[in-house]
Amino acid sequence: MSNNINDTELLEQLVDAKNNFFLEIGKIVIGQKGILDQILIALLTKGHTLLVGVPGLAKTLLIKSMAEICDLNFKRIQFTPDLMPSDITGTELIDIDPETEQRNFRFYKGPIFGNIILADEINRTPPKTQAALLEAMQEHRVTAGGHSYKLDEPFFVLATQNPIEQEGTYPLPEAQLDRFMFHLNINYPSIQEEVSIVNRTTISNKYDVKKVFSKNSITSFQDLTLRVPISENVVTYAVKLASSTRPNEETSDSYVKQWVEWGAGPRASQYLALGAKAKALLDGRPTPSIEDIQSIAPDILRHRILPNFNAEAEGIKVDDIVNHLIKNIEV
Going along the chain from its start, the domains and CATH numbers come out as 5-216 (3.40.50.300), 229-328 (1.10.8.80)
Q: Is 225 a residue whose pLDDT tops 70?
A: yes
Burial (CB < 10 A; 0-12, 13-18, 19+), residue 280, is: buried
Q: How far apart are CA 300 and CA 303, in angstroms?
A: 7
Pairing label, strands 116-120, 156-161? parallel
Q: Is the peptide bond between 126 and the residue preceding it cis, with omega within 30 degrees of 0? A: no
Q: What is the DSSP letter of 152?
A: P
Across the beta sheet with 49-52, what order do the strands follow? 74-78, 116-120, 156-161, 49-52, 182-185
- The model carries a pTM of 0.88
Q: Are 112 and 88 in contact (CB under 8 A)?
A: yes
Per the prediction, the chain carries an average pLDDT of 86
Average pLDDT over residues 216-223: 92
pLDDT of residue 143: 82
pLDDT of residue 166: 64
Q: Is 165 a residue whose pLDDT tops 70?
A: no
Considering only residues 298 and 312, tell me which one the structure prediction assigns the higher pLDDT.
298
Q: Are 160 and 120 in contact (CB under 8 A)?
A: yes
Percentages (nearest 5) of helix, strand, coil residues in the chain: 45, 15, 35
Q: Is 2 a residue whose pLDDT tops 60?
A: no
pLDDT of residue 117: 92
**Ramachandran class of 109: left when φ > 0, alpha when ψ lies in -120 to 50, beta otherwise:** beta
Rounded percentage of the chain residues whose pLDDT exceeds 70: 97
Please state, as a whole number, how many other Cβ atoms lie within 10 Å of the Cβ of residue 4.
10
Considering only residues 223 and 131, tell me which one the structure prediction assigns the higher pLDDT.
223
Highest mean pLDDT among 27-31, 162-166, 298-302: 298-302
Q: Is 105 a residue whose pLDDT tops 80?
A: no
Q: How far apart are CA 196 and CA 293, in angstroms?
A: 33
Burial (CB < 10 A; 0-12, 13-18, 19+), residue 135, is: middle
Q: List Cα–Cα distances, 202 to 141, 195, 206, 283, 310, in angstroms.
A: 42, 11, 12, 35, 47
pLDDT of residue 49: 93
- Residue 168 pLDDT level (bands cut at 50, 70, 90): low
Q: Is 1 a residue whose pLDDT tops 60?
A: no
The candidate with the shortest Cα–Cα distance to 306, out of 295, 316, 294, is 316
pLDDT of residue 134: 80
Considering only residues 99 and 88, tell me which one the structure prediction assigns the higher pLDDT.
88
pLDDT of residue 3: 47
- Please give the angle made by the CA atoms of 271, 318 and 241, to the nearest 5 degrees: 40
